[in-house]
Structure 1
Amino acid sequence: MSSRATQLATGLLALLCAGIAAAATPAAKDTPPEPAPGKAESRQEAKAPSAAVEIVHAEFGTFDASAPDDLVFTPGNVVPHREGQRYGWVIELRGGKRSVAVREEYVQGAVAKPIEDPLSDSLSIPVAKRNQVSQRQLVPVDNLIFGEWAIGPKEPAGHRHLRVVIEEQAAIDFEYDVR
C-alpha cells in the first residue's frame, strides 16, 4: 500500500470517529443576534462570500473492517459482488469550512428507446439520467471526508458511475464495477 493510501486509511478512521461524534452532537442554530434596542437595523445583511472548496485528492475503493477498531481502505475500481461488502470514496479537500454539503448521485447513460421513430428521434435529445442517492453535511477531519456504502441483498452486478458534488462548487466522478 502506498504511503498516500496509508495516510488516507489512517485519516479515515479518525474521520469516522469524528463523523459519529458530530452526528451525536446537536447542531447550534445559525440565528443572528437580536439587534440592540434603539439602534437602526440594516435591511441589507452583508454576507461573506462562501469559501471555495477544492478537491486535492480523491480515491475510490473498498473498506475492510474485519479487524476490530481498524478500518482499512484499499483503492481500486472493482467492488466484489458480496452482500455486506463495504465500498466508497475518500476525498482530501482544501478550504477552511467546518462542514461541507455533499451530494452523491448515480449517473446512468441515455435510456434506450423501445421503438424507432424518426420524428421523435429528431425532437428529443438523449440526456444522461441522474439519480440522487444521498445528500448530507460532512465534517472534514485532517481535510478528509468519506462516503461509504455496502452491497445489499439482490443488488445487481455491473458498471456504476457515481458523481460526488461538494458545496455545489467541486465535483468528482468515480466509475467502478461490481463483480
Structure 2
Amino acid sequence: MRIWTAIVVLTSSWLVSGLVASQPINAKVAIAADKTASSRSISQASNTKKTIAIDKAEFGVARVDARGKVNFIPTFRVPLQEGSKYGWRIQLKDYQGEVTWREVLRLPKPPETWATDDGENFSVSADGTESVMRRKTTANDGVIQNYWTIAAGDPPGKHKIQVYIDDRLIATFDFEVFPMDRKESSGRNRSL
C-alpha cells in the first residue's frame, strides 16, 4: 500500500470512513512579521513580482459526506485508519493566480512505501522519514491545500508538515497520527 497525496477538489467523489472525535487544532503557524511572503509568480500583465499575504493556515482531516461534499475538520489528531485523509489549507489574502509552494513532511519512522499521485517534484530523504514535494498551483478563491491518505504500513506517532512559498516558511503543523482501538473501527464503513 502507498501514501497517496491529492489536492482536494470539490467535485471529487471520495468516500472516507467516519472519524473519531477530534480535538481543536494546535498548530504553530509561522508567518512573517508583516504577514507577507514573496512569490516568484510573475504577473503577465504588469511583469512585476506579486506579494502574498497569509490570511489563515489550518491543519486537519478531510471527510466527504454521502453527497460528495468535502468537509474540512480542524484537528491535530489523525486516526491511523486506511483511507483517512489529512492535510493543510492556507487562505491567501486578496490573492488569485498561480503560487509555487513546497511541503516538507517528517514522519517518526519510515512508512512501508511512499507515493504521490503524479510522482513529479517529489523526493524522499535517505533514511525514508522525510518527503519534499514541490507544486505550482492556481489559488482558487485564494486557497492552496494538500492532503495525504493513510495507507497500510504508515507509522503512528508525531508528524510535522512545513509549508513554504518559494523559500519562505509560512506554516508549521505538528500533529499526531494515532492507532485506533479495534473496537472503535470495527463498526465503521471502511470503503473509499
Q: Same fold (TM over 0.5)?
A: yes
AA aligned opposite 1:153: A
Q: Higher mean Cα deviation, 131-140 or 159-168?
A: 131-140
CA distance in 2, matches of 1:99, 1:18: 21
CA distance in 2, matches of 1:149, 1:108: 13
Answer 1 or 2: higher relative contact order, Cα 8 Å, separation at least 6.
2
Contact 2:107 2:155 (8 Å CA) reproduced: no
1:102 is displaced (CA, Å) by 1.2
Equivalent in 6, 13, 16 of residue 9 of structure 2: 16
- Counterpart of 2:147? 148
SS where residue 16 of structure 1 aligns? coil
TM-score normalised per structure 2: 0.55
- Counterpart of 1:25? none
- Counterpart of 1:105? 104
| Structure 1 residues 77 and 89: alpha-carbon distance in aligned structure 2, compared to 1, 3 A threshold | same
- Counterpart of 2:25? none
- Counterpart of 2:80? 81
Contact 1:53 1:169 (8 Å CA) reproduced: no
| Structure 1 residues 170 and 55: alpha-carbon distance in aligned structure 2, compared to 1, 3 A threshold | farther
Contact 2:96 2:142 (8 Å CA) reproduced: no
SS where residue 147 of structure 2 aligns? strand
1:167 is displaced (CA, Å) by 2.9
Q: Give % identity.
A: 27
| Structure 1 residues 178 and 159: alpha-carbon distance in aligned structure 2, compared to 1, 3 A threshold | same
**Which structure would you say has the larger Rg?**
1
* 1:129-140 matches, cutoff 5 A: 131-140=130-139
CA RMSD of aligned residues (A): 3.0
Contact 1:103 1:132 (8 Å CA) reproduced: no
